[in-house]
Amino acid sequence: MMRGFFITFEGTEGSGKSTQINILARYLIRRGYDVLKTREPGGTGFGEQIRKVLLSVKNHGLDPRAELFLYLAGRSQHLEEAVFPALQKGKVVLCDRFSDATLAYQGFGRRLDMKTVRTAVKYAAKGLSPDLTLLLDLDVRLGLDRVRNRGKCDRMDREQLEFHKRVRAGYLRLAETEPDRIKVVAAAQEKEAVAGEIQAVVEQHLRCRTAVKQNKGKTRVA
């Protein structure tokens, strides 16, 4: 049985995920949690190699199904090598993107058959679903401007505006269907305000988890 807590961060380009993951990691470590901070695509040597292939502008002609399988290949390895072992050890795993990204980008964005994408996503993740997902929601133009100002635009950033709009709408649809797991956070706010909202949601979930564990313990003792 997995003992840890699995939190994923999602959002369109330039929504501030990396900044917020770093802030949350520091916050949780200060509170005594054992934290693994990781990302997809990436998180392992193999995953980082796949990341380079996926984001390189040289691969602009990549077939959408080839793209799907590359993201999923990286995920399977990442889970086996990093995420499952950390959860077994009871760590809080903070992951920059996971299965919802595949549904949003390859399903809604690329318009691959959603049923097939869902089946493949579940298979690659061995059925693992995050305990909590923070969706940093932002106007796509604003996010893309932020990315462009950083001066580094990868293969996905360079997609058409309509693609990014479908991804955002897709994420919001996913959040509507799973409101208990996926929490939408307005990412246009100041970064401190975003961080405060995230910390409140995470604290609440971690408290619930502890309460459930304690109750289970009591039941067993009784």
Tokens matching residue 186: 């307005």
Q: Which is nearer to ligand TMP, 17 or 206 (CB)?
A: 17
Q: Which is nearer to ligand TMP, 113 or 203 (CB)?
A: 113
Minimum distance from residue 131 beta carbon to ligand TMP (Å): 18
Q: Which is nearer to ligand TMP, 35 or 124 (CB)?
A: 124
Minimum distance from residue 31 beta carbon to ligand TMP (Å): 26
Residue 185, by phi and psi: left (phi above 0), alpha (psi -120 to 50) or beta? Answer: beta
Minimum distance from residue 41 beta carbon to ligand TMP (Å): 5
Q: Which is nearer to ligand TMP, 132 or 156 (CB)?
A: 156
Between CA 172 and CA 114 the distance in angstroms is: 15
**DSSP of the chain:** ---SEEEEEEESTTS-HHHHHHHHHHHHHHTT--EEEEESS-SSHHHHHHHHHHH-GGGTT--HHHHHHHHHHHHHHHIIIIIHHHHHTTPEEEEES-HHHHIIIIIIIT---HHHHHHHHHHHTTT---SEEEEEE--HHHHHHHHHHHT---TTTTS-HHHHHHHHHHHHHHHHH-TTTEEEEETTS-HHHHHHHHHHHHHHHHHHHHHHHHHHHHHHH-
Q: Which is nearer to ligand TMP, 158 or 207 (CB)?
A: 158
Q: Which is nearer to ligand TMP, 164 or 183 (CB)?
A: 164
Q: Which is nearer to ligand TMP, 117 or 206 (CB)?
A: 117
Q: Which of 106, 165, 171 is nearest to 134 (CA)?
A: 171
Minimum distance from residue 205 beta carbon to ligand TMP (Å): 22
Residues that bind ligand TMP (CB under 6 A): 13, 39-41, 71, 96-97, 101-102, 105-106, 156
